[in-house]
Amino acid sequence: MTKDTKNQSPSEKILQSRRQFMRRAGLGGAAAAGATLSAPFVNAQSAPIKWRLQTYSGAPLGAHVIKPQIEAFNAAANGEMEIELYYADQLVPTSELFRALQNGTIDAVQSDDATMASPVDISVFGGYFPFNTRFSLDLPALFAYYGLNEIWEEAYGEVDNVKWLSAGAWDPLHIFTKDPIRSLADMKGKRVFGVPTAGKFLSRYGLIPVTVPWDDVEVALQTGELDGVAWCGFTEAYEVGWADVCNYALTNSVTGAWCGSYFANQKSWDAVPAHLQQLFMSTIDQSHYYRNVWYWGGEAKLRVEGEKMELTSIPSEEWAQVVADSSEFWDDIASSSPRSAQVVQAFKDYAAVMEKAGYPYR
C-alpha cells in the first residue's frame, strides 16, 4: 500500500472504487475493447462514417455519462463508423445544441430537452421535473409502460430534421451551497447554477437560477458569483469538484432522477446503415444501465461517508408545503398543452400505482 493510498480521504477512496467499477463494467470502453479486438477493419470501398456528438456535460462528468459508450461503439463499429465526442460548450453553447443539431452542425446530442432549448411542448419535462420520480428506475418505467416513449416520438416527429432516440435516468436533485439551508427562508436570495424547470419551481422560495458555462461553475462558486448549485446529486458534486467549494448539502431531494435523452440529426441518422443504428441504440442502453448503477451506488455512499459537506435538512412540515406546491405546478404545466397534460397524467397514474404497490416501490 502506497503512502498516497494510506492518506486518502473517505470520499477519495469512494471515488477511486467507483472509477474501478467503470473499468469493470460491461460497457468496457476502449481499454477493454483493445484487449479483445485487433486493428479495426476499414471498408476499402468507402470511407468510415464520421459523426460529431456533443454532450451537455463537462469532461469530468462526461467520463462516466457518455465516454464509455462512445468508446465502446467506436470499437465495435469495426472501422465502419467513428463518433467524435465533444463536451459542454466545446462546439456550440449548450443552449444552442438543438439548433446546431437541426442544421447539421453536429450529428448527435446527449442532453435534457429543457437545457438544449428544444422547441417542443414537452421540453419542460426534460432535466429535473419536481417530484415526478423518486427512484432512478421510475423514469424508464414511465417511458416504457406509461406512454412517454410514444409522446416523445410524436413531439419530435413534428420537428424538422431531428430524431429523438432514447431517454434515460441520471441522479436525483439536491442543493449544495456555501451557506447552510435549514429552512425555506434560507433559500431566499441564493444564486444557484441549475437546470431550467427545477430552477423555475424553486424560484418561488427565493432561489435565483443563474446560468454560466458548465466549466465556469467552480470558479463562479469561488468568486461569489454563485452561492451554490441545484444541478445534480452527491455523485456529481464529488466527482466534478463542486463538493470542494460547497460547504453544505441539503438532504431534501426535489426529484429522484434527471431525465436526459439522445438525439440525432435526421439526415445523419438516415445515412447510417441499419446494423450501425442498432449498435448505437444498444450502446445507449448499455450507457443507461451503467449510469443507473454508477449514480445509485454513489448517491448513498457519498451521502453517508463523504466528508466534504455538512448535511442539512428542511423540517418535514415545511417540506410538505413544497410537495403540495408541486401539485399546483404540475397542474399549471398540464394546462399549457394537451400533450403536456398527457405527461402529467402519466406521472399521476404512475405515482398512484407505486403508492398502492408499496414496498419496494414506495
283-315 pLDDT, tens digit per residue, is: 999 999 999 999 999 999 999 999 999 999 999
Give residue for cell 449514480: 295
> Up-side HSE of residue 49: CA atoms within 13 Å toward CB?
20
* pLDDT band for position 85 (cuts 50, 70, 90): very high
Residues 218-242 pLDDT 10s? 999 999 999 999 999 999 999 999 9
What's the pLDDT score for residue 23? 56
- Check pLDDT > 60 for residue 29: no
Contacts 24+ apart (CB under 8 A), 30-34: 30/71, 30/72, 30/74, 30/75, 32/72, 33/71, 33/72, 33/75, 33/76, 34/75
Segment 250-263 shows an average pLDDT of 97
H/E element holding 174? strand 173-177
pTM of the complete model: 0.88
Residue of 144, 160, 330 lying closest to 255 (CA atoms): 330
User: What are the sequence ranges of the domains in the chain?
Assistant: 17-171+259-301, 173-256+307-357
The 8-class DSSP code of residue 210 comes to E
Q: Which residues contact 165 (CB under 8 A, 6 or more apart)?
A: 261, 262, 263, 264, 280, 281, 284
Q: Give the integer Cα–Cα distance in Å for 85 and 29.
A: 13
Q: 3-state class of 176 per DSSP?
A: strand
Domain 173-256+307-357 has CATH 3.40.50.2300: no
* pLDDT band for position 4 (cuts 50, 70, 90): low
* pLDDT band for position 21 (cuts 50, 70, 90): low
Segment 188-209 shows an average pLDDT of 95
Residue of 184, 155, 176, 189 lying closest to 340 (CA atoms): 155
What's the pLDDT score for residue 2? 53
Segment 264-281 shows an average pLDDT of 98
With 0-12 / 13-18 / 19 or more C-beta atoms within 10 angstroms meaning exposed / middle / buried, residue 194 is buried
Q: Give the integer Cα–Cα distance in Å for 68 and 22.
A: 8
Rounded to an integer, what is the distance from CA 338 to the centroid of its chain?
26
Q: Do domains 17-171+259-301 and 173-256+307-357 have the same CATH topology?
A: yes
φ, ψ of residue 110 in degrees (nearest 5): -120, 115
What's the pLDDT score for residue 46? 74
Q: What is the average pLDDT value for the chain, to the nearest integer?
A: 91
* Least confident interval from 180-189, 260-269, 295-304: 295-304
Question: Beta strand pairing status for 208-210 and 173-177?
Answer: unpaired
Q: What percent of the chain has pLDDT over 90?
A: 86
Which homologous superfamily does the CATH classification assign to the domain defined by 17-171+259-301? Bacterial extracellular solute-binding protein, family 7 (3.40.190.170)
Give residue for cell 439536491: 174
What's the pLDDT score for residue 42? 45
> Up-side HSE of residue 291: CA atoms within 13 Å toward CB?
31
Segment 30-43 shows an average pLDDT of 39
Residues 102-146 pLDDT 10s? 999 999 999 999 999 999 999 999 999 999 999 999 999 999 999
Of 16 and 354, the structure prediction assigns the larger pLDDT to 354
* pLDDT band for position 198 (cuts 50, 70, 90): very high
Segment 25-29 shows an average pLDDT of 47
Q: Give the integer Cα–Cα distance in Å for 39 and 267.
A: 29
